[in-house]
Structure 1
Amino acid sequence: MLAALQQDYRGRLLLQVVDIEDDDDTEARYGQLIPVLMAGEYELCHYHLNRARLDAYLAEIG
């Protein structure tokens, strides 16, 4: 997912990669869903990049 984001959305997103191994609460919440793409507290997609959902979100926020 990260490679697709970096390739297809370069310059359009500010990405922050979080290693959940250091955060027990986050690991418990998302452990089976990794990788997860979040926009704040909003879960956009997990496992694979959902370009349609991300594009819709980006269009919504302008």
Structure 2
Amino acid sequence: MSTATVDLSQVDLGDFDLWDPRPPYELFAQMRREAPLHWSPLKRFPEEGGSGRSRATPTSG
């Protein structure tokens, strides 16, 4: 993944290619800045209801 910003409305965190060869750390940094709560379509997992929320900020305790 490059350091260029991406359109977060198009990001699907369930896309395995996004995680190859490593977690998309630059994308996580962008998400923390721009969309700490992100709705992801999870197209690869239709049995999961087709969508999911991701929290890009740590939780406490």
Range into which the TM-score falls when normalised by the shorter chain:
under 0.3
- Give the number of the structure whose residues are more often helix, by fraction: 1
Q: Which one has more relative contact order, counting CA pairs under 8 Å at least 6 apart?
A: 2
Per the normalisation by structure 2, the TM-score is 0.26
Per the normalisation by structure 1, the TM-score is 0.26
